Chain A
Amino acid sequence: MDNFEPKIVAFCCNWCSYAGADLAGTSRMQYAPNIRIIRVMCSGRVSPLFVLKALSIGADGVLILGCHPGDCHYIEGNYKTMRRVPLLKKMLKQLGIEEERVRLEWVSASEGAKFAEVTNNFTQTIKNLGPSSLGPPQQSSKEARHG
């Protein structure tokens, strides 16, 4: 599909990555318009539940952006994310979802350029993967029978 524009949800931590996104914006850096940013207080706040929910209601990819290791405003929130994401990816793979659809990156408040680069790169990855096979959950028994 040539004109596929993926829907991407990006969870950005308030202290680093959201500010990084802000810097990319104020610096007039161009980046793919496919991301929908959701500000969270810490990347450690991003429960695997949020990722599954995003995927289950139609997101083609989920980006989690946090402070670099050692820089967490809450000391170790991003370490929890660092441990969670690989296990989540392993589980998603078993559920038939490409692990590339979820990516964790560290973006500091001064890294506007990195934010733009990560966003562009991830959007391209998802474009190459194509639309997610997950739609909204199947409801009717007819779909359940043949879905």
Chain B
Amino acid sequence: MAKLKIALYWAASCGGCEIATLAIHEKILKLAEVADIVFWPVGLDFKYADVEKMADKSVDVCLFNGAIRNEENEHMAHLLRAKSKIMIAYGSCSYEGCIPGLSNFYNRQMTFDRVYIETPSTDNPKKIYPQTKVKVPEGELELPEFYDTVKTLAQTVDVDYFVPGCPPEEKTTWLALEALISGKLPPKGTVISHSVKAVCDECPRKKEEKKIKKFYRPYEIIPEPEKCLLEQGLLCYGIATRGGCGALCPQANMPCTGCYGPVEGAVDQGAHFLSALSSIIDSNDPEEIQRIIDDIPDPAGTFYRYSLPDSLLRRARIK
């Protein structure tokens, strides 16, 4: 059998997904036996021109991580889609927008003002912003255009599979790679994970009736080791998040933040969490309810931490 041809690419991401692909440890040797890496900017010296020269559909699989933030990201998404038989949105950024997607609370100008003017470590008295074209003695240089709105990969090109996680767990990555190596592929559009149920299903903490009088932020309390974190007033996102990670964060006393995306069948993770969370507030008095809600300083940022670009509203409206 001919070796599989695999391409890996990073768009708007932190690089964690690149490390996650290596976190399969010794299984990387097995991968090397059956697959050749034909493009991987972070690890090997390829140029975009090399990809352009490849025949269409000549790459078997592209693992694409990172959100679509600028013109370069979008160009590479289209190029790799054309060259690849299977396109996988690998990791939360390409799947749902993730942390880069939080800039959808702002627009380009606000982001530029913050980054190039306002940050305390920035000294930019002439208020110079990045330009798409700049003249230098040697000629004109071009930079990709920075977009107002961060998009997911599936909002940009046709995507075959999704691998959730920020970053995906080792076993989730391997589940996807194993399916590719064996050729036993799930139906198109599948979110590849060991579970279609919520994180709570895998979480060993004791769960009783959920009634909350006060919400806490993680630094405010030391949680009891065995009781459900949500029942202790921490905003644990497990009830609205797909499992498959093994409920690692709650087992380390940290509430789940929702990186594996919505459970199977749910479309807007934030709305589902909002619904479930507010229902368990233990009060029937509007004023007390308001006080309890005031404990949550940033509901939109918390509920859409990983999924604002993939949510129904996609971004905040800026007046």
Chain A residues at the B interface, C-beta cutoff of 8 Å? 47-49, 52-53, 55-56, 69, 76, 79-80, 82-84, 86-88, 90-91, 94-97, 133-134, 137-139, 141, 144-147
A14 to chain B, nearest CB (A): 20
- Take A48-B274, A52-B313, A144-B147 as given contacts and tell me if A96 and B290 are in contact as well, using a CB distance cutoff of 8 Å: no
Residue of B nearest to A141 (CB): B74
Give the 3 A-B residue pairs with the shortest CB-CB distance, closest first: A96-B317, A94-B300, A49-B271
Asked if B148 contacts A97 (CB within 8 A), the reply is no
How far apart are the CA atoms of A55 and B270 in the complex, in Å?
A: 15
How far apart are the CA atoms of A79 and B303 in the complex, in Å?
A: 22
A106 to chain B, nearest CB (A): 11
Q: Which residues of B contact A86 (CB under 8 A)?
A: 278, 286, 289-290, 293
Asked if A144 contacts B290 (CB within 8 A), the reply is no
Asked if B317 contacts A84 (CB within 8 A), the reply is no
- Take A55-B313, A95-B316, A138-B314 as given contacts and tell me if A80 and B148 are in contact as well, using a CB distance cutoff of 8 Å: no
Give per-residue flags for B253-290: 1 if the beta carbon is below 8 A from chain A beta carbons, else 0: 00000000000000110111011011101011010011
A95 to chain B, nearest CB (A): 4
How far apart are the CA atoms of A133 and B299 in the complex, in Å?
A: 21
How far apart are the CA atoms of A144 and B74 in the complex, in Å?
A: 11
Q: Which residues of A contact B84 (CB under 8 A)?
A: none
Residue of B nearest to A70 (CB): B284
Asked if A82 contacts B284 (CB within 8 A), the reply is yes
How far apart are the CA atoms of A52 and B105 in the complex, in Å?
A: 16
Q: Which residues of B contact A53 (CB under 8 A)?
A: 312
Q: How many residues of B contact A (CB 8 A)?
A: 41
Q: Which residues of A contact B74 (CB under 8 A)?
A: 141
Asked if B316 contacts A137 (CB within 8 A), the reply is no
Residue of A nearest to B301 (CB): A94
Q: Which residues of B contact A49 (CB under 8 A)?
A: 267-268, 271-272, 275, 312
| A90 contact from B149, B271, B293, Cβ within 8 A | B293
B72 within 8 A of A: no
B318 within 8 A of A: yes
How far apart are the CA atoms of A52 and B300 in the complex, in Å?
A: 13
- Take A52-B268, A86-B290, A94-B299 as given contacts and tell me if A138 and B149 are in contact as well, using a CB distance cutoff of 8 Å: yes
A74 to chain B, nearest CB (A): 13
Residue of B nearest to A54 (CB): B312
A124 to chain B, nearest CB (A): 22
Other contacts beyond A88-B278, A95-B313: 4, CB < 8 A:
A48-B274, A49-B312, A84-B275, A84-B278
Asked if B300 contacts A146 (CB within 8 A), the reply is no
Asked if A52 contacts B147 (CB within 8 A), the reply is no
| A95 contact from B145, B277, B284, B317, Cβ within 8 A | B317
Asked if A134 contacts B274 (CB within 8 A), the reply is no
How far apart are the CA atoms of A83 and B267 in the complex, in Å?
A: 22
B70 to chain A, nearest CB (A): 9
B81 within 8 A of A: no
How far apart are the CA atoms of A55 and B283 in the complex, in Å?
A: 28
